[in-house]
A and B are shown apart, each in its own frame.
Chain A
């Protein structure tokens, strides 16, 4: 399938180019190479081979500052530090240096980035839920933004396909709003979670609290080892026991012999041929040498993450596309979404004092959406809904820090023993796609390579803020009904800027009409159909569930379509 465009470009010509190596890019690489395409994956950061996880086996005492980052390190990650966990010494190396990778904020936006092979597939939360037709029909039903050009039936077989390869554990719960999938055996709830589940069910007319569905292997799967229950996932797993590009999709792509992966390759823009109506390749800046190199291919998959893929399109200006490639609609960069969270409740239990658990479970419980799912649950004060993630555990020694007046031998003995049982649930809420929530190119601030940067102008609006009141109140009600003591609600909206949930979506949305959307129902740019965008940028709405599984399914589906179109010589 080599596309010979003259001797000079032959060595830089592939069948397909994939930009980015995170969850979406890894899937694109696997699917395209397995279907026989010579594929070049371009990753802007360093290479990380599976197993090359420097902190994976370290105990707390093997980090100089134990759990604390040194001031000199935090200075380089002021924005990455906004989550409160990403710059922990065990994981800080998976997040960017903010000084070298600046961006600007009209309103606060917390942009967490991992510039290395595998991207954020190494550090993701692994919660894996399907969207349902409740989600795909929502925009049309509510008259919000534009309609999704697909429905659940279009993506369901691709969810099956993605789950079978990735390995998702879970229980078949039979909920319409959270479709079941191809699950590995579920993880267990602990003593208190089981009790809270039963009490919520009986107090709220059968409301479900289920064990989380996560991309951790509860049995050996496709040559990868099963979970060891260390809960050190985000350091990288030497067992390959959770889904990452490094452990799963990239090894599969390499095994075909069709993969070329080029690290330190920053894609600056796409090269567009007006006569062909196609992108013919990409312009790359070598991050180490600053050399500019062009690579060519028949098909290009943008999988650089929502913001970065949109940046590449915005930065690909030509006579035909003065405002960015594929941007006839003016929607490119707009409709930016994230989940709003950090709202919920906590409580204590005085039961199960003689019970404990063994192992560090890298998963929690999930309370699927129960608002606006049918007539009876319809709210007048906001659209859409939210789910809760959480867990119960016995308090540990960190409890002793708060109560200043306690010290001495008794305190020490108390902290060595397991503390009281407690449970916390936090809510993840859907955010509507607003045209006003956007990013745009900033030519005044340039990065290390002279490229423009991005500026964010994005904030929560009335619907999200009204929803948050219910997110907090419902959490309190459930924990109280479950019999917990000292139930306390919280709403840290100030710590939940857009971006903080690391579920950036939108900015190059799918739609039926090229006048109002950037991508069609196969994730192709309407006006450059050999360019596919399959990461979070494509999302037309964001539901309330964690999105990565949907990127996997959409990417595999788009790759299948791309290869079919290539065979029909349509691209």
Chain B
């Protein structure tokens, strides 16, 4: 059943008709802008954030962070959802990634081989773990949040069932293919 059909089924079950505004909202597809230009970050900051996000959730047999538009989400968060103090922490962290990359490898973080990127990020994660609200906390949260609340992941990677219609409390996991339900 596709989404339009699901909505139509929902409408049939309603005591009242779905208003046009709901329907419009439902059917408006938002395409994540992979490779989009940043609105708020500089091009250099955006490139660093994209490369870090892609190492946190890289492309494998399922899409990676860049595939599903995580960089654009991070850019939006930095622009409209972070306080000034949070944004300062975040942009300083992006600069630190590049500084470490330059010091160790004389190259931009995005140009490093994956193994070198991962080593650099592991060191940052270990330094950040006991603290709170560091750059690494920020980018880890935004990458995972941006990834799992994106349309491509919500529809096709995790198990999408916006109108389950029933609740079964204990079923074999195999019935749903070892995939978590998409958050509703």
Interface residues of A (CB under 8 A from B): 50-62, 64-72, 187-191, 193-194, 223-225, 228-232, 238-240, 247, 352-361, 394, 396-398, 400-401, 404-405, 407-409, 411-413, 415-419
A312 to B: closest C-beta gap in Å: 33
B144 at the interface (CB under 8 A from A): yes
- B80-A72 in contact (CB<8A): yes
Residue of A nearest to B55 (CB): A407
Q: How large, as a class, is the contact surface on chain B?
A: 35 or more
Contact pick for A191, options B125, B149, B170, B174, CB 8 Å = B170
- B180-A416 in contact (CB<8A): yes
A46 to B: closest C-beta gap in Å: 15
- A394-B180 in contact (CB<8A): yes
B163 to A: closest C-beta gap in Å: 5
A311 to B: closest C-beta gap in Å: 34
Q: Is the interface of A mostly helix, strand, loop or mixed?
A: loop
- A52-B19 in contact (CB<8A): yes
Residue of B nearest to A392 (CB): B169
B104 at the interface (CB under 8 A from A): no
A234 to B: closest C-beta gap in Å: 12
Across the interface, which residues of A come within 8 angstroms of B2, CB to CB?
none
Residue of B nearest to A69 (CB): B81
Residue of A nearest to B60 (CB): A409
- B57-A407 in contact (CB<8A): yes
- List the 9 shortest-distance A-B pairs measured between CB atoms, nearest first: A359-B167, A190-B169, A359-B164, A188-B169, A191-B170, A60-B149, A66-B149, A61-B151, A407-B56
Across the interface, which residues of A come within 8 angstroms of B171, CB to CB?
355-358
B106 at the interface (CB under 8 A from A): no
B169 to A: closest C-beta gap in Å: 4
Told that A57-B18, A59-B151, A397-B158 touch, could you supply 6 new A-B pairs with CB distance under 8 A?
Answer: A57-B26, A66-B73, A191-B170, A355-B172, A357-B167, A415-B144
- A407-B140 in contact (CB<8A): yes
Indicate with 1 or 0, residue by residue over B138-180, a CB within 8 angstroms of chain A CB atoms. Answer: 0011001111111100100110011111111111111110111
- B10-A57 in contact (CB<8A): yes
- A354-B18 in contact (CB<8A): no
Q: How many angstroms from the CA of A355 to the CA of B175 in the assembled complex?
A: 9
Q: How many angstroms from the CA of A50 to the CA of B165 in the assembled complex?
A: 20
- A70-B80 in contact (CB<8A): yes
Say whether, besides A232-B184, A404-B129, A354 and B26 are in contact (CB < 8 Å).
no
Residue of B nearest to A407 (CB): B56
B89 to A: closest C-beta gap in Å: 15
B1 at the interface (CB under 8 A from A): no
- B13-A228 in contact (CB<8A): yes
- A239-B15 in contact (CB<8A): yes
- A361-B167 in contact (CB<8A): yes
Across the interface, which residues of B come within 8 angstroms of A190, CB to CB?
169-170
Contact pick for B178, options A55, A409, A418, CB 8 Å = A418
Q: How many angstroms from the CA of A229 to the CA of B13 in the assembled complex?
A: 13
- B173-A418 in contact (CB<8A): yes
23 contacts between A and B (CB under 8 A): A50-B15, A51-B22, A54-B22, A55-B25, A57-B7, A57-B162, A61-B30, A66-B146, A67-B149, A68-B77, A70-B80, A190-B169, A191-B170, A230-B164, A238-B14, A356-B172, A358-B161, A396-B181, A397-B147, A400-B144, A401-B144, A409-B60, A416-B158
Across the interface, which residues of B come within 8 angstroms of A415, CB to CB?
144, 148, 180
Residue of A nearest to B6 (CB): A57
A415 to B: closest C-beta gap in Å: 7
Across the interface, which residues of B come within 8 angstroms of A61, CB to CB?
30, 32, 149-151, 154
Say whether, besides A238-B10, A359-B166, A65 and B19 are in contact (CB < 8 Å).
no
